[in-house]
Amino acid sequence: MPGQALFQYRDDDGQLQPVDSGEVNDYLREAMGESFTAKDFRTWGGTRAALQRLAQLPLPEPSSERALTLAQNAVIREVADALGNTPAVCRKAYIDPCVFDGWRCGDLHGLSETVRGERQWDLATLRYLARARAATRKTAKTAKATTSRQAVATVAVGKAPKSASPRRPGRRAPAARERS
């Protein structure tokens, strides 16, 4: 595996000594004072690379679901190649899905015209993720409040709203016939 050669060092006697992922993660926790692992850095790198690439990528015309998915998959392949992973692993573990949502709804467009340099892309990514998280929390809070209001209404009226009514039970097996 190519990455294993990177996690070695020569000791005082000139002998190669392996460093395993646990030792790397222990070092990161100690150095950063938080619960960070090497995966956090890969996730950051994947998310940031995807956001930067998507910000530079116009929405396809016509904007069909198929065209959007093809463009999104091309970005995932680029990021996967950069990280040395498969697209499936990259999509699942290393790119925050909110960047794809942001691209599809136009939140990322125009960033590439105002953001210059690696540090500015890092900051733009942090800001975007913070806004996306805040919007998600706000949506979840609103949904929870709506559910609470429905529960209060149910208790006050004495019956559940139609959307909350229980599902009909499935088919029952036919009763066994008696033999004569």
pLDDT tens for 106-143 read: 999 888 888 989 999 999 999 999 999 898 877 776 76
All residues at 6 or more sequence positions from 85 whose CB lies less than 8 Å from its CB, including other chains: 93, 94
φ, ψ at 16 (rounded to 5°): -70, 130
Asked if 4 and 16 count as a contact pair (C-beta separation under 8 A), the reply is no
Q: Answer yes or no: is pLDDT of 76 > 50.
A: yes
Check residue 112 and give its pLDDT.
84
Check residue 39 and give its pLDDT.
87
Mean pLDDT score across all residues of the chain:
81
Question: Residue length, the chain?
Answer: 180
Q: Which domains does the chain have, with CATH numbers?
A: 40-133 (1.10.132.120)
Check residue 144 and give its pLDDT.
63
Over range 10-18, report the average pLDDT: 91
Q: Collapse the DSSP code of 49 into the 3-class scheme (helix H, G, I; strand E, B; otherwise coil) and give the result.
A: helix
Q: DSSP code of 97?
A: T
CB hemisphere CA count around 150 (13 angstroms)? 12
Q: Answer yes or no: is pLDDT of 178 > 90.
A: no
Query: Distance (Å, rounded) from C-alpha 47 to C-alpha 37?
Result: 16
Query: Distance (Å, rounded) from C-alpha 33 to C-alpha 52?
Result: 29
